[in-house]
């Protein structure tokens, strides 16, 4: 039976006022916080969350961040949900609903700090009537499997060592250590690298083993960070929009979205309804080219596909969305060289722009959905005070 949680929220934000030229005439914070009467509360169904009702809320979605804390902050500031000051990590989104579509892990060196940041922002957002959701991607499931081949930066292992040391200093208090890690991570990184054993260039066997052991203990099934990831779904529906990492397909819907979310979560926590299948990975969600976290059916570059293949993916997207009574889908997973864009006749939005320094190191871009109208927010020139808003629909 679905677990339903209700969060009491504030006021409905009015539509964005615009000048005669069509540019935004107010700040994101003003839009998120302004408003006149009360509105319905956000309700969350499923454990982990599967269906979210957030009436009248502004939704912002962020793609793959791959361990790059600086670019993650930049994307959040761009979205209007994080204070521009680097210290403090204050939520400024009011009643905004923020969604991150997976692949926080691998390729960078601040993965736990980013997980900590999103958890901290979620606690702040709830107090203001907003919410923060995460969707697990293929790199989250790979780490729980013990597949660390994309931990290409030694800093990814080092952070695990430093975090376990910090957890010990917090007397094993997980909530305290995890929520505050983002505020101390950079200082402790500098201190570690200034120490005799912190030289990046001398990544010897002992350090490699220590880093591997630390990461394994945190991300193994039933490990502290694996259980943290287990709180999040692989598919999430917010209002009339589907959010997932790779792509939702008809056979996923037939199998059951809530069932997939529950099975992946239980697998990460090393629990099972059937003790005989305790070690089985949920294949339909996490393995294979057509699984939820691996599929590129919707996000592949059109130049690499035939016209027939493009038409087929559009038809599949339409059928899938119709079956779950949704208007659109938002996915990550495949870096979009030309930025956030829509495919499948406007039905699917691809928001992975490869912003991490471990991928393309491109400018952050964010998808914003207000009143079911998607817009791309991206940095203009060198200032976050000036925004370029592209209306596709």
**Active-site residue among 139, 245, 252, 333?**
139
DSSP line for 117-177? HHHHHHHHHHHHT-EEEE---HHHHHHHHT--TT--SHHHHHHHHHHHHHHHHTTT-HHHH
CA pair distance 226, 298, nearest whole angstrom: 28
Which range has highest mean pLDDT (21-30, 69-78, 379-388)?
69-78
**Of 110-114, 234-238, 301-305, 371-375, which gets the smallest average pLDDT?**
301-305
Give phi and psi for 243, each to the nearest 5: -120, 125
Tell whether the model's pLDDT for residue 21 goes beyond 50.
no
Domains and CATH numbers, the chain: 43-378 (3.60.21.10)
What pairs with residue 374 in β-bridges?
A: 369
User: For residue range 244-288, what is the model confidence (pLDDT) as tens digits?
Assistant: 999 999 999 999 999 999 999 999 999 765 544 455 789 999 999
User: For residue range 72-100, what is the model confidence (pLDDT) as tens digits?
Assistant: 999 999 999 999 976 779 999 999 999 99
Task: Tell me whether residue 139 is one of the annotated catalytic residues.
Answer: yes
Instruction: Give the pLDDT mean for 16-24.
Output: 37
Q: How far apart are the first and last CA of the chain?
A: 37
DSSP secondary structure letter of residue 50: -
Model pLDDT, residue 203: 59
Tell whether the model's pLDDT for residue 30 goes beyond 80.
no
User: For residue range 125-184, what is the model confidence (pLDDT) as tens digits?
Assistant: 999 999 999 999 999 999 999 999 999 999 999 999 999 999 999 999 999 999 999 999
CA pair distance 50, 252, nearest whole angstrom: 14
Band of residue 373 on the pLDDT scale cut at 50, 70, 90: very high
Give the pTM: 0.86
């Amino acid at each position: 039976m679905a677990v339903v949680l209700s969060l009491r929220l504030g006021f409905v934000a009015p539509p964005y006022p615009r000048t005669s030229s069509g540019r935004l005439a107010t700040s994101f914070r003003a839009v998120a916080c302004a408003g006149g009467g009360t509105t319905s509360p956000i309700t969350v169904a499923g454990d982990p969350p599967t269906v979210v009702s957030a009436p009248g809320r502004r939704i912002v979605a962020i793609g793959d961040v791959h361990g790059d804390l600086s670019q993650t902050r930049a994307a959040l500031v761009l979205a209007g949900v994080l204070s521009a000051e680097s210290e403090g990590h204050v939520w400024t989104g009011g009643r905004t609903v923020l969604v991150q579509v997976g692949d926080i892990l691998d390729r960078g060196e601040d993965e736990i700090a980013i997980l900590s940041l999103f958890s901290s922002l979620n606690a702040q957002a709830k107090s203001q009537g907003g919410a923060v959701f995460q969707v697990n991607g293929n790199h989250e499931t790979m780490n729980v499997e013990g597949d660390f081949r994309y931990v290409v930066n030694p800093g990814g292992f080092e952070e695990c060592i430093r975090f376990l040391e910090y957890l010990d200093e917090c007397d094993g208090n997980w909530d305290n250590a995890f929520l505050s890690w983002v505020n101390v991570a950079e200082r402790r990184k500098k201190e570690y690298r200034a120490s005799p054993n912190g030289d990046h260039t001398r990544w010897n066997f002992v350090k490699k083993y220590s880093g591997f052991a630390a990461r394994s203990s945190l991300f193994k099934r039933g490990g502290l960070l694996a259980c943290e990831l287990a709180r999040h779904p692989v598919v999430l529906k917010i209002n009339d929009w589907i959010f997932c990492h790779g792509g939702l397909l008809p056979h996923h819907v037939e199998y059951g979205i809530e069932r997939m979310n529950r099975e992946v979560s239980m697998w990460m926590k090393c629990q099972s309804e059937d003790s005989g299948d305790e070690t089985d990975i949920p294949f339909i969600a996490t393995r294979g080219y057509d699984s939820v976290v691996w599929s590129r059916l919707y996000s592949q570059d059109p130049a690499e596909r035939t016209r027939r293949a493009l038409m087929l993916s559009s038809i599949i997207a339409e059928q899938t969305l119709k079956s779950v009574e949704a208007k659109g889908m938002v996915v990550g997973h495949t870096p979009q060289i030309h930025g956030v864009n829509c495919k499948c006749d406007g039905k699917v939005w691809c928001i992975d722009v490869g912003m991490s320094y471990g991928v393309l190191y491109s400018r952050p871009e964010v998808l914003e959905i207000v009143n079911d109208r998607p817009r791309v927010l991206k940095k203009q020139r060198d200032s976050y005070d000036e925004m370029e808003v592209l209306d596709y629909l």
